[in-house]
Structure 1
Amino acid sequence: RDTRPLNFIDVNTIAEAFLHHENRRVDKGACIQFRGRRYETKPELIGLKVEIAYDPTNPEILTISHPGIKPFTAKPLVIRGYCAQTPALPPAMQPETPKTSRLLDALEARHKESKRLMTDAISFANYGKEGRAHV
C-alpha cells in the first residue's frame, strides 16, 4: 500500500558487502599464498601488499586490488605436467652400450702389428746348424 517506489541496490554492491577481505604480500614469483594454495597476480605487484576479497563459500576465486591498479580476479596456480621436463637428448649424446672395448681393440691391433713384424724378420737362429752334426 506504500506509494513510494522501491529502490533496488546494485547486485555488485550487495555482493561486495558479503565478501571477506585480507591483506597479502606478493612474492618474487608474482604469487600470493592463500589457504595453502598459490595464486598468480601481476608482475608489477611484486613486493607490494595487496588486498584480497573472497567469498567464503567459494574461496577458489580471489579479487585482488591495490591502489592505482584495476581490481582483477585470480584463480589458483596450476602447475601443469609439461613443467620441469628435461628435453630429449640428441641421438649423438644418448648413452649406448659399446659393441667392443677400445682398449682391447688397440691391444689387438698392436699384437697383429708385432706378429707381422716378427714374420717379416729374418731369423739367424738355425744358421749353420742345418747339415752339420759336429760342433
Structure 2
Amino acid sequence: MQSFLDEVALENVKTLPELNDWFHVCLTECYQNKPHAALANKQTPEAAFRSDPAALQFVDPQHLADSFLHAEQRKVDKAGCISFHGKKYEVGLLFIGQSVQVVYDPADLTEVTIEYEGCTPWKARELVIEERSGKRPALPEHLQKQPAAESRLLRGAERKHDERTQIQTPAVSYRMLRKEAGQDV
C-alpha cells in the first residue's frame, strides 16, 4: 500500500474516483497478475483463484449482517424497561429484575433484539412517549389544596395530650400532699 501511495502521489490525483481508478489498475497489474513465490508453481493470485476446483460458497446475507451486530447486557427495571444508549426500550413485565442480552446494530437503534435464556429472541422498539402520556390533568376542585384555618397536627396532639392527662390524673401525687407539722404521711 505504501508503494502505491508513493506512486500515486506523483500523479497529482485530485478526486476520489481518480484515486480508485489508479488503485484498481495497481491492484490488478502489480498484485493479482504478478507471480507469487508462496503459490504453487509461482502462479499469479488471479490464476490460482480461477484454477481452484472448489465451488465458491456465498454467505447468507442475513448471517453476514448478523455477524456485524453488537451485544450488551442490561438489567430490566421495575417498569419492565431497559435504558440503552440514552433511550428506553420496553422489554416486558415478566423480565423485571433479570439481565437480558441486547443485540443491536450501532447504526440503527430504533429497534433492538432482546435475548433471554430459554426464550425466543424478540424485537424491542424505542419507547416513545406520546401525547396521551403528557401533563397530568388538574385535580377536581374538591381534591385541590384547601387553605387551613388551624393546624391539624397541633389539634391532634392536643387531643392526645388531653387523653393522656385524664388517664394519669387519678394517680396519687405525693407532691400535692402537705406535710403537716409533726404528722407522718
TM > 0.5 = yes
Alpha-carbon deviation of 1:86? Answer: 2.9
Alpha-carbon deviation of 1:82? Answer: 1.1
User: Are residue 28 (structure 1) and residue 68 (structure 2) matched?
Assistant: no
**Superposition pairs for residues 55-70 of structure 1, below 5 Å?**
55-70=105-120
User: Are residue 86 (structure 1) and residue 137 (structure 2) matched?
Assistant: yes
Structure 2 vs 1, CA of residues 87 and 12 (structure 1 numbering), >3 Å: closer, same or farther?
A: farther
Residue of structure 2 aligned with 1:7, choices 57, 70, 81: 57
- Structure 1 residue runs of 4 or more that deviate by more than 4 Å after TM superposition: none
CA distance in structure 2 between the partners assigned to 1:70 and 1:51 by the alignment: 12
Return the structure number with greater relative CO, CA threshold 8 A, min gap 6: 1
Deviates most, 1-10 or 44-53? 1-10
Residue of structure 1 aligned with 2:95, choices 25, 38, 45: 45
CA distance in structure 2 between the partners assigned to 1:35 and 1:26 by the alignment: 14
Alpha-carbon deviation of 1:9? Answer: 1.9
Higher helix content, 1 or 2:
2
Alpha-carbon deviation of 1:48? Answer: 0.3
TM normalised by structure 2 equals 0.44
**Superposition pairs for residues 91-106 of structure 1, below 5 Å?**
none
Alpha-carbon deviation of 1:34? Answer: 0.7
Alpha-carbon deviation of 1:35? Answer: 1.2
**Structural RMSD (CA):** 2.2
Higher strand content, 1 or 2:
1
CA distance in structure 2 between the partners assigned to 1:42 and 1:12 by the alignment: 26
**Structure 2 unaligned blocks of 5 or more:** 1-49, 143-185
User: Are residue 18 (structure 1) and residue 18 (structure 2) matched?
Assistant: no
TM normalised by structure 1 equals 0.59
Partner amino acid, structure 2, of 1:86: P
Q: Specify the SS of the correspondent of 2:94.
A: helix
Structure 2 vs 1, CA of residues 87 and 6 (structure 1 numbering), >3 Å: closer, same or farther?
A: farther
How many pairs align? 91
Which residue in 2 is equivalent to 1:133? Answer: none
Which residue in 1 is equivalent to 2:158? Answer: none
